[in-house]
Structure 1
Amino acid sequence: MDKQVLLETRERVSPYIHNTSIFTSSLLDVMSGSKLFFKCENFQKMGAFKMRGATNAIMQLSKEQQEQGVVTHSSGNFAQALSLAAKNLGVTAYIVMPNNAPKVKKEAVLAYGGIVTDCEPNIAAREQAAQQIVDEKGATFIHPSNDLDVILGNATAAMELLEVHPDLDVILSPVGGGGLLAGTALAAHYFGNHCLVIGAEPQVADDAFRSLKSGQIETNDSADTVADGLRTQLGDINFPILQKHVDHIICVEEQEIIKAMKILWERLKIVVEPSSAVGFAAVLKEKEYFKGKQVGIILSGGNVDLETIKFS
């Protein structure tokens, strides 16, 4: 891995993604005691950063592999991303989704041309259903977060942020499966100026926090968090990157996530999903740590099921 690999990735995917806006707010700077720069991946195609990794992963496949299609399992955002990326590149996408996935995300997958298979809401069921499609269709499995090409694609968000603001002291990224945090960490390592990377995670789904502490991949017995995109766990490809390049992880409570999301809706006038708000929630929780720093925050997505969203 070197800087050139990341530069080539960015050049490859750029025609298929948005270079998303970076928002600031003097009010939120005062509220947090730091200078905040929000990288708005809620404005990305299909509404989340995962368009980046999905596009790169498909583009790195051989022509023969692309002709056989791709398959993934996802609670929502990567399902949408792979479906749209595949559509843009003329590839068939098979999507395994848990039967409790947000309605708005499942409808979007279908609208993007993804072929959906429902499964029980657990990792074993997801993996079994995806493997069956691989066996029957010959499709290539692309993991939502534990795939190096996905991670490299994800890194382009922080690369864009650092291109505009090269002297950030720290970048915060939400962590669920670890693909965005790993990509952000690689971008900061190669393109930042002594820029720390910190993960943000729901307290009730703190497997990444515990994994960095123990030195091995931990799991959650349950992950009943409003941040539905962060219910997955780390993998053997992204975990070593986190161990090497992530400073630490801050865990936030459910009400802290909801409060942060509400502030972003009210003050930035943008729609972000709960998973997006955990980075900002971490800054509000640890104001003393971030005081006076220039802080980048990756707002990971904005695909909200308005029928279920709660602000209290």
Structure 2
Amino acid sequence: MATHTRPAPDTLPVTLADVQAAHARISPQIVRTPFFISRTLSELTGATVYLKFENLQFTAAYKERGALNTLLQLPAGTSGVIAASAGNHAQGLAYHANRLGIPATIVMPTNTPTVKVTQTEGHGATVVLYGDTFDAAYAHARELEATGGLTFVHPFDDVRVIAGQGTVAIEMLEDVAAIDTFLTPIGGGGLISGMAVVAAASDHAIEVIGVEAELFPSMYNRIKGTTMPCAGDTLAEGIAVKEPGVVTSKMVEALVDDIVLVSERSLEQAVSLLLQIEKTVVEGAGAAGLAALLQHPERFAGKTVGVVLCGGNIDTRLLANVLLRDLARSGRLARLRIRLQDQPGALFNVARIFEQQRVNILELAHQRIFTNLPAKGLSLEVECETRDKAHLDRLLAALRASDYDVSTIELA
């Protein structure tokens, strides 16, 4: 992919001059987000890893850039803008339209989480709930565009949006000229298309690698001719796009060097590590670049990699689940099933082993009825907290040395 000669810049619908003009246009009204090296993640992955903290934009996502660049180029007297989105595009467009005094309407599927609806309304937009799917909401938005004389702002398949998103890459290279690899999430393809334009015009070779969730390899399919299904409940809902853009597909095919896929487990690990190591909250899509580094370290070993943390809008309950699951996988939380005899002192005797091993018991559950053990037996489930996997292994060894039948209840 993209092993052929790079096309002349003027053959593509977005040029470096477009991205530079967008940067000059929007810079006074967006956050110039930090671009810092992560020494710990660099040691962990074998690459030199720089992180672009786009989760620190006011609406916690890079989408503001493309939305604002589009809004600033609308004709005077535009009666209003409309978009279909349940995510970061909705908030970015609503926020900047409100600042500029342009009425904004956002069409969202009826099953959109309430928090996203209220956040978008909080930015001054009119929210219309319609249909069970994004496709239905999109079709309704196009109808309202026609009947209401509104201007539709596409989340990714618009040259003004692409140019705005590409300004991320301009800032990255201004801050760290030595970057030789961009590692960028792909949903519809707007961000990577804009960044690839900047990379292609650089004075040194910059490899551009896209990242998609394994459950939604839509651009991967489009470019590589595969037919893998695009469906499932991915943590990276911000890049869970079934059909990439027409304009963006052309640009990705011309300018992007490769696309890698990442598992749900890698996405969860990346979200957790960014919170633990960088003390920053990133949504699943925003963590996709780091997930690729974790899952494919040999692909990026020795490279100087710029990773865009493209958004930080993650539900707090979901974030809590991700963190707890990561603790379980690392051995710091465990749920054990222990077979006991149903007699006085049985619980005391097993608890004493936990105390001797300095393991904290968080929760206990006896099961006498729904078990295949004999009537005088019981199953005890213990949720406990250990220092690490080695500490958990010592506990298991101590229990078995005392003749307890014990097993761990594993995560999927």
Residue 169 of structure 1: aligned partner: 180
Q: 2:284 aligns with which of 250, 256, 274?
A: 274
In the alignment, what sits opposite 2:109?
98
CA shift in 2, pair 1:93/1:136, >3 Å: same
Q: 2:251 aligns with which of 241, 263, 268?
A: 241
Alignment check: 8 A CA contact 1:152 1:183 kept: yes
- Per-residue deviation, 1:223: 4.0
**Residues 1:229 and 2:238 are matched in the alignment:** yes
1-structure distance, mates of 2:36, 2:270: 15
Alpha-carbon distance in structure 1 between the residues aligned to 2:15 and 2:161: 16
Contact 2:286 2:308 in 1 (8 A): yes
Is 1:301 aligned to residue 311 of structure 2? yes
Q: Which amino acid letter does the alignment assign opposite residue 35 of structure 1?
A: T
Q: What SS does the corresponding residue of 1:38 show, helix, strand or coil?
A: strand
Q: Who is 2:214 aligned against?
A: 203
Deviation at residue 39 of structure 1 after TM alignment: 0.4
Structure 1: distance between partners of 2:58 and 2:262: 28
Is 2:68 the counterpart of 1:55?
A: yes
The alignment's C-alpha RMSD in Å is 1.6
Q: Which runs of 5+ in 1 are unaligned?
A: none
Partner residue of 1:264? 274
Q: Is 1:252 aligned to 2:262, yes or no?
A: yes
1:35 aligned to 33, 48, 62, which one? 48
Q: CA deviation at 1:220?
A: 5.0
Give a deviation string over 1:98-129, Cα, whole Å, max 9, x none.
23334332221010011111123434302221
More helix by share: 1
> What corresponds to 2:201 in structure 1?
190
State the secondary structure of the residue aligned to 2:261: strand
Q: Which residue of 1 aligns with 2:339?
A: none
Larger radius of gyration: 2
Cα distance in 1 between the residues matched to 2:111 and 2:292:
27
Give the Cα–Cα distance (whole angstroms) in 1 for the partners of residues 228 and 103 of structure 2. 32
Q: Identify which of 295, 318, 328 aligns with 1:285.
A: 295
- After TM superposition, the structure 1 stretch with the greater mean CA deviation from structure 2, 100-109 or 3-12, is 100-109
Query: Aligned-pair distance for 1:221?
Result: 4.8
TM-score normalised according to structure 2 size: 0.72
1:190 Cα shift? Answer: 2.0
**Alpha-carbon distance, 1:79 to partner:** 0.3
Q: Does 1:112 align with 2:99?
A: no
After alignment, is 235-244 or 102-111 more displaced?
102-111
SS in 1 for 2:259: strand
> 1:278 aligns to what SS in structure 2?
helix
Return the TM-score normalized by structure 1.
Answer: 0.94
Secondary structure of 1:47's counterpart equals: coil
Question: Residue type matched to 1:267 in 2?
Answer: I
Maintained 8 Å contact 2:109/2:134? no
State the Cα deviation string for residues 231-267 of structure 1 (Å, max 9, x = none): 2231111111100111111101111100111000100
Secondary structure (helix, strand or coil) at the match of 2:317 reads coil
The aligned counterpart of 1:85 is: 96
Question: Contact 1:205–1:224 at 8 Å: present in 2 too?
Answer: no
Residue correspondences, number: 308
